[in-house]
Amino acid sequence: MAIKVIVNIPNEAPYDVRIGAGVLGGLGAHVAALPALASARRALVVTDGNVAPLYAVRTKESLAQAGFRVSDIVVPAGEESKSLEVAGEVWEAMAALALGRDSVVVALGGGVVGDLAGFVASTYMRGVPVVQVPTTLLAMVDSSVGGKTGVNLEAGKNLVGTFKQPAYVCADTATLATLPVREWTCGCAEIAKSAVIDSDDFFFWLADAAEALAARDEETAAEAIARSVVFKADVVAADKTESRGVRECLNYGHTLGHAVEALAGYGTFSHGAAVAEGMRFAARLAAALAGASLEFVAAQDDLLDALGLPALAWSAEPADLLAAMKRDKKARHGQVRFVLPRDVGSWELRDVDDAVILEHLEAWARSKEECS
Ligand code: NAD
Ligand code: GLY
């Protein structure tokens, strides 16, 4: 049975997120029935080279059966496709197909395709609607909802982008069957992040469900996705453009996580493994600075372990990690900002002094030496 979550963001058209095995079959009918897309006649499916052979035919058939004239464009799989160059190729392809404002862009894939296609849709002819069809766990629980789109520059990730809410999100959990384990755990890390920031209800449900989620039980995954989408929708509704100090909570674990990814070399650890390490560090920092209890730190450690996200047996020079954090675009006026959980469901945003960060990074690095 499918689960429907309605995303209601002030000054935006509400949209549905449909979650369940097989919902892709109903994609065309749902899109055709959307009042905002009443005049849409053509659909462009944007997907990547891994996802296309698996799910493009089913997606295109569903749209065609609902009366859309369907085209597709396949970009190379991987973060490199989130570039102005690839965006340019998609814009040109759309123009060559003579796609007009009666078109809808359908993003079929993970967060890379979602961010790229959302960006292209929001800029082509000053904006055509986009429908998100996430096929990774991370995209289902995070990137397909909330409207951030973008591409990377040499100078950094996501430096050019827009806010463009989708008209509909179709999360077919059956597509997750083909997802590599590494990508699964990336989604699990974002679910854990959401649960810690959200509430006791989500956290303790996830603590009980963690082994089933790690084992990829379908029903458990659908519920974890729905809970994460409800959480993210609430956060985005409170702070659509990350200007009110609320949406930043979604960066929990990402401050150290991004630095770990950068210093270890991109791809050495999955994004999820790095974020989980960042959550472990931030919780310990919160115990020192924001009143988090050691019981909370231990409960979060247990949750991450159960989700298949063990502490990393890796460390780097504290000064190098601090420097990497300062290069991150989330740093403000040279100060590194952390999301610090006071407890499950309670958090604060804190600029932390370099000396304090270094002291905690040194303790973190020593703990790695003791384990090795
Ligand atoms: P991804 O899109 O690169 O997908 C990961 C890999 O899985 C790719 O190789 C892809 O081809 C493959 N894949 C996708 N679905 C598959 C399936 N069902 N079966 C088999 N293989 C499949 O990575 P991701 O983790 O989904 O997304 C990461 C991106 O999302 C980053 O660029 C990040 O910046 C962005 N992001 C955006 C937001 C947002 O709010 N917009 C939030 C979080 C992350
Ligand atoms: N994942 C970050 C955001 O949507 O704000």
Q: Which residues line ligand 2 (CB under 6 A)?
A: 142, 146, 148, 247, 250
Q: Which two tokens stand for residue 209?
A: 């469900």
From ligand 1's centre to the CA of 284, what distance in Å?
29
First to last CA, the chain: 47
Ligand 1 atom nearest to 137, measured from its CA = 26
Kindly report the protein residue whose alpha carbon is nearest to atom 3 of ligand 2: 250
Known active-site residue 211? no
Helix (H) / strand (E) containing 169: strand 168-172
Q: What are the C-alpha distances in Å from 244 to residues 123, 166, 241, 249, 339?
A: 25, 22, 8, 11, 14
Dist. CA 275–CA 256, nearest whole Å: 7
Q: What is the DSSP string of 337-350?
A: EEEEEEETTEEEEE
Q: How far is the CA of 127 from the centre of ligand 2 (A)?
A: 21
Q: Which atom of ligand 2 is nearest to the CA of 145?
A: 4
| Strands 103-109, 42-48: pairing kind | parallel
Lookup result for tokens 């990074």? 361
For residue 43, what are the β-bridge partners?
70, 104
Q: Is there a catalytic annotation at residue 242?
A: yes
* Helix H or strand E segment including 41: none
Backbone dihedral region of 199: left (phi > 0), alpha (psi from -120 to 50 degrees) or beta?
A: beta
Phi/psi at 158 (nearest 5 deg)?
A: 55, 30
Q: Is 179 in the pocket of ligand 1 (CB under 6 A)?
A: yes
As a residue count, the chain comes to 372
Residue 166 has, within 13 A of its CA and on its CB side, a CA count of 32
Per-residue pLDDT of the chain (372 residues; tens, 9 = 90+): 899 999 999 999 999 999 999 999 999 999 999 999 999 999 999 999 999 999 999 999 999 999 999 999 999 999 999 999 999 999 999 999 999 999 999 999 999 999 999 999 999 999 999 999 999 999 999 999 999 999 999 999 999 999 999 999 999 999 999 999 999 999 999 999 999 999 999 999 999 999 999 999 999 999 999 999 999 999 999 999 999 999 999 999 999 999 999 999 999 999 999 999 999 999 999 999 999 999 999 999 999 999 999 999 999 999 999 999 998 877 777 899 999 999 999 999 999 999 999 999 999 999 988 766
Q: Give the active site residue among 232, 240, 280, 284.
A: 232
